[in-house]
Structure 1
Amino acid sequence: MHNTEIRYFMAVVSTGSLSAASQQLFVAVSAISRHIQRLEKRLGMSLFERSARGMVLNDAGQILANHVRRSMADMKLAIAELEGLKSRQQTPIRVVCTDGLALNLVPLLLARFRQLHPEVNFHLIVGSGQQVPEWVRHGEGDVEIKFSLAAEPGVDVIASFPAPVTAFMHRDHPLATRDFALSDLNAYPLVLPDQTATIRQLFDLCCRMNSVFIEPVFTSNQFSAVFGYVRNDRDAIGICSHFSVMGHMLNDELQIRCVNVEPLGQRMLQIQTEIGRPRTALLASFCQFLKQTLTEMDSQLRQRYGMPEH
């Protein structure tokens, strides 16, 4: 395929119409249309659904666009590495993660890795559990760290850690030193993520399965707000994974306890990359660092708070 055809194709993808692509590229509409038609003829299939409102990718077009984006991202990464050999320019790594992990754990991991590899710089993108794998599949991230309930298409799992649902509270809370059932949470102010979070969906499902109705006193789509509320209300209990409160944010004033309901132990924390994506030496080193460091931190936290080893 010719570079011009791909360039015009991606311009139409980004703008949504031939006329908008024409204005972006300063090329006649007829020329762009002609190159798009040549590309479709070469491939033997159409790439767009055409309408009076513009041009929208069909399934074939989406596949091609995704491959072009990944190729462009890989080329930028290769160029950055080559330039780094000449001028010690910093090499970027794009990390995507979900909100609960962005509070403390992921920034802590990135800072530790950069102490070992000062030639790297990071760009962290935070999204929902639905957005994060899509971004990686579309080549918008080099590695993702997220919670997962089931196998996902299009990603390669580098490492996986059991991430059971835990409750966190002040150390002097009545439930801080004993086992408890879901129904026991009714006696205290419960603080939860909103329904967009997989942990909230899993928690609500377990409540229904156990005929327990709990009305939270505070919900938010930001885990930092959930965490902050519990820290400021000594009676409150929050729900999270122990990974979300790893690091210095979990200090001596707080306690975490397992919620011993079987479905609540099904979540996994996973390090993922796009299937088939080539890894530079630095990216491979970063993935290995994540796997080793999370294994060590997980073991230390489980021992400190009396959580069962997986």
Structure 2
Amino acid sequence: MHSNEIRYFLAVANTGSLSAASKQLFVAVSAISRQIQQLETRIGATLFERHARGMVLNDAGQILENHVRKSMMDMDFAIAEIQGLKAVRRTVIRMACTDGPAYSLLPQMFARFRAINPGVMFYLNVGTALQVSEMIRSGDCDLALQFSLTPERGVEVLASHPATVRLAMLSHHPLVIQEVSLGDLRAYPLALNEPSSTIGQLFDLSCRMNGIFLEPALSCNRFSTLYDFMLNTPGAIVACSHFSVMFNARADGLVMKSINIEQLSHRTLQLQTQAGRHRSAALSQFIDFSCELLAREAAAFERDFNL
């Protein structure tokens, strides 16, 4: 189709009349009318309902407008991506996450990616699982990293890793030398995320199914607080995924212990984006980088800590 036909068609669709489109384009009404008629002839269908007060798109016109605007948007994205190949350093990536990944995992990922692309900036919003899911569905962030129990609607999962709930403790803890059951935890200060978190839900379910009551010494919605409590409290244990301590465990001399309860494995760490969302060059690079880093570091951690 001729570019003038499409340009005039969109002008009439936007303004609602030939005269208004004429003023907008500085083109005679007759010329615009002629191009619209040619376009309708070429398509084989009328595109507007013509009224005394103006012109309104009919069903065929709305279909054409949607496709034309999508094509124009795709062209804009293509140009932006081509330009982005040269301008990755000036890109802001907006992320959302639940509290666990915010403690150490994401800061490490950001730092390592910026070592390669030092001009890329990150904006991180930390929220609850419900808040993060809503941010990714509404397009308020480019990516989300969160622990998930169930599939999310309107969300594309770019990477998913098992995130079994385990126990982190210092290497001299008495439980290091034995298999651990839920009942064993009664004798030690337990640091546990708030009940509404995925860990809180799984722990509560496991305790109820096994007839065990556990009262945490510290319950908090900030993993950094739970982690510092464990490091500084004799005999303390923190319940977490290995992803939350992946870059701290070796330096802090931690041991990770599992509890042989199926419910504690019903969780994954997911890298998510809005379904159908366009990705800039920088975002695509960061997604590839993140997927590779998560897979590599998780495999190394599981090997080194015999998980």
* Mapped pair 1:159 → 2:159: yes
Work out whether residues 193 and 222 of structure 1, in 8 Å CA contact, stay in contact via their aligned partners in 2: yes
* Mapped pair 1:202 → 2:202: yes
TM-score normalised by the chain length of structure 1: 0.71
1:174 aligned residue = 174
Work out whether residues 88 and 120 of structure 2, in 8 Å CA contact, stay in contact via their aligned partners in 1: no
Shift of 1:75: 12
Secondary structure of 1:176's partner?
Answer: helix
Describe the superposition over 1:150-194 as per-residue Cα deviations: whole angstroms up to 9, x where unpaired: 111010011110000000111100112321111111111111111
Secondary structure of 1:108's partner?
Answer: helix
Shift of 1:281: 2.2
Which sits farther off after the overlay, 246-255 or 146-155? 246-255
Shift of 1:97: 0.8
Which sits farther off after the overlay, 127-136 or 115-124? 115-124
1:106 aligned residue = 106
* Mapped pair 1:120 → 2:120: yes
1:12 aligned residue = none
1:296 aligned residue = 296
Work out whether residues 105 and 245 of structure 2, in 8 Å CA contact, stay in contact via their aligned partners in 1: yes
Work out whether residues 166 and 242 of structure 1, in 8 Å CA contact, stay in contact via their aligned partners in 2: yes
2:3 aligned residue = none
Describe the superposition over 1:241-283 as per-residue Cα deviations: whole angstroms up to 9, x where unpaired: 1101111365242211112111101100011100000112221
Tell me: CA distance 1:107–1:240, structure 2 relative to 1, closer, same or farther (3 Å): same
Describe the superposition over 1:202-242 as per-residue Cα deviations: whole angstroms up to 9, x where unpaired: 11110000001111111111111111100001211110111
Letter of the 1:92 counterpart: V
CA distance in 2, matches of 1:199, 1:94: 25
Tell me: CA distance 1:79–1:120, structure 2 relative to 1, closer, same or farther (3 Å): farther
CA distance in 1, matches of 2:232, 2:258: 22
Q: CA RMSD in A?
A: 2.7
CA distance in 2, matches of 1:248, 1:141: 27
- Listed as ranges, the matches of 1:8-27 within 5 Å are none
CA distance in 2, matches of 1:177, 1:135: 43
- Listed as ranges, the matches of 1:216-231 within 5 Å are 216-231=216-231
1:55 aligned residue = none
2:97 aligned residue = 97
* Mapped pair 1:254 → 2:288: no
Letter of the 2:253 counterpart: E
Shift of 1:42: 8.8
Work out whether residues 190 and 218 of structure 2, in 8 Å CA contact, stay in contact via their aligned partners in 1: yes
Structure 1 stretches of 5 or more lacking a match? Answer: 4-40, 44-73
CA distance in 2, matches of 1:191, 1:261: 19
How many residues get paired? 241
CA distance in 2, matches of 1:257, 1:185: 12
1:241 aligned residue = 241
1:53 aligned residue = none
- Listed as ranges, the matches of 1:271-310 within 5 Å are 271-307=271-307
Work out whether residues 91 and 121 of structure 1, in 8 Å CA contact, stay in contact via their aligned partners in 2: yes
CA distance in 2, matches of 1:222, 1:228: 10
CA distance in 1, matches of 2:106, 2:214: 31
Work out whether residues 104 and 249 of structure 1, in 8 Å CA contact, stay in contact via their aligned partners in 2: no
Shift of 1:85: 6.9
Letter of the 2:305 counterpart: Y
Work out whether residues 149 and 266 of structure 2, in 8 Å CA contact, stay in contact via their aligned partners in 1: yes
Consecutive aligned runs of 4 or more in structure 1 exceeding 2 Å deviation: 74-89, 248-253
Work out whether residues 95 and 124 of structure 2, in 8 Å CA contact, stay in contact via their aligned partners in 1: yes
Larger Rg: 2
Describe the superposition over 1:9-47 as per-residue Cα deviations: whole angstroms up to 9, x where unpaired: xxxxxxxxxxxxxxxxxxxxxxxxxxxxxxxx999xxxx
CA distance in 2, matches of 1:296, 1:201: 28
1:18 aligned residue = none
TM-score normalised by the chain length of structure 2: 0.72
Letter of the 2:207 counterpart: C
Letter of the 2:153 counterpart: P
